[in-house]
Amino acid sequence: ISHELRTPLAVVRAELEAIEDGIRPLDRANLGALQGEIRQLGKLIDDLHDLSMTQSGGLAYRFAPLDLAALLRSELNGMRVRFSTAGLALEENLPATPLQVSGDERRLQQVLANLLENALRYTHAGGRVRVQAARVPAGVQLIVEDT
């Protein structure tokens, strides 16, 4: 956890020092990059809080019927530009019909976002990330794989 928190913090520190020293301009692109690192730190802190709540038994789940295919499409569409910018192909194999499940939509979004963030972070440019979901006899199967 400390490594995961230190990485974006070190990037922010280095970028701010470069701006202060006049090495990098204070422009929209550099501010956007800093905002991205700050968002990553926020997500890591939220994950740490959720982990703490899970371990203490304080994390509440709100199960409700939802369409997992629609949830997946929404998450994938929200990250397509980032994958493209990173030089990664983002492939999906989702059914045209709804995949009804009972689950906590917010927690499922969080799991999907974490899986996609990890794939984005650890897949080399030129690689691919594939997301598949299908109904199986035991329920629904979700596969997220990368090269």
Give the domain extent around 40: 2-56
- Indicate whether 94 and 130 sit together in one domain: yes
- Indicate whether 74 and 44 sit together in one domain: no
pLDDT by residue (tens digit) across 18-69? 999 999 999 998 898 899 889 888 888 887 887 787 777 776 778 999 999 9
How, if at all, do strands 128-136 and 139-146 pair?
Answer: antiparallel
- Indicate whether 45 and 88 sit together in one domain: no
- Indicate whether 137 and 88 sit together in one domain: yes
- Indicate whether 79 and 122 sit together in one domain: yes
pLDDT by residue (tens digit) across 68-121? 999 999 999 989 999 999 999 999 999 999 999 999 998 899 889 889 988 988
Beta bridge mates, 145: 130
- Indicate whether 94 and 28 sit together in one domain: no
- What confidence score (pLDDT) does residue 117 get? 87
- Indicate whether 82 and 45 sit together in one domain: no
- Indicate whether 132 and 79 sit together in one domain: yes
Total of domains in the chain: 2
- What confidence score (pLDDT) does residue 111 get? 87
| CATH code of 84's domain | 3.30.565.10
- Indicate whether 77 and 133 sit together in one domain: yes
- What confidence score (pLDDT) does residue 105 get? 92
Position 13 pLDDT exceeds 80: yes
Against a cut of 0.75, is the pTM above it?
no
Contacts for 79-86 with beta carbons within 8 Å, 24 or more apart? Answer: 79/116, 79/120, 82/120, 83/120, 83/129, 86/120, 86/123, 86/125
